Homo-oligomer: A and B are copies of this chain.
């Protein structure tokens, strides 16, 4: 089989195509023929070697993908040949509290990821994908989709009629807009790219705040909510946006911390929190059970992930280059459909 591998050390230039023996499933494992993969910002950090010492080479990178079950170990129950499945981002987190060592069971580092034609997984680390989603759509879900779902719907869903503020238009943000709409919320999105406003409105955003024109977007949110503030913030900014988000949220509201693209050291102005009973929580992707609940909502609401561009397997470096350029809108995906002469997967 074929894979993109960091054989010895990090750096996009070291990511090379490699041939490996076809892996065999044992016990409760299955072998997937990989159909598609998708890129997250984390993958760029991992490939660059900036993720930390827990991730070492050799490594097959990229956490997110979808495959079809092609071989079954003798103890597998609940799955059949031909099932289309996504591996969960954290292989050991089925439900409830994650395992204490959850970061040790993350795909795409430290565990091998999806940039391979075949992969073997424990059956309990897989989630079955509904027919309505194409392969590249399914591949876009495990990290960004589940993260957004956890922010909007776990453990307590946004209530219908509540107002949700989503910062930006990255992968998690777009899913958050869709899920918040499905939950019956009013959705406000900030963007620094006016060109994306139309897309956001088509996706159901009630209000789009152009940060290039409205510098004080927290004040704009207060204005849109009669001075009261929004009920929740999906906080994807980090250091530069945190105090603005805390200003925009209502007393008793919730700010869910996910990203730190603008920096890791935030100045937190405590009175914004202390006298206003604000809660800040954080989300690390989510469990397999959360993944399944998300798929239920996506099926009912016919939610389709926003796909930026699909690259063939041979052009993985170009896909990473597009991600690094940060000009995409929606998920950057890799399709294996023409690889090795394999039959194409659904929707490919």
Contacts and interface: CB of A to CB of B under 8 A. Distances in A.
A161 B296 contact: yes
A27 B102 CA distance: 20
How many chain A residues sit at the interface, stated as a range, is 35 or more
Contacts of A280: 273, 279-281
Nearest to A156: B156
B300 A184 contact: yes
Copies of this polypeptide in the complex = 4
A162 interface: yes
A271 B264 contact: yes
B284 A275 contact: yes
A233 interface: no
A27 B270 CA distance: 38
Interface stretch (A214-222, A250-258, A332-340): A250-258
A31 interface: no
Contact of A268 (B27, B179, B265): B265
A300 to B, nearest CB: 5
A186 interface: yes
A299 B184 CA distance: 11
A275 B285 CA distance: 10
A97 B290 CA distance: 10
Contact of A182 (B161, B252, B282): B161
A71 interface: no
A287 B97 CA distance: 11
A278 interface: yes
Contact of A296 (B98, B162, B281): B162
A94 interface: yes
22 contacts: A94-B95, A96-B287, A97-B289, A103-B275, A157-B159, A159-B297, A160-B300, A161-B293, A161-B298, A183-B183, A239-B270, A242-B268, A257-B273, A260-B270, A265-B267, A267-B267, A268-B268, A274-B282, A277-B282, A277-B283, A279-B280, A279-B282
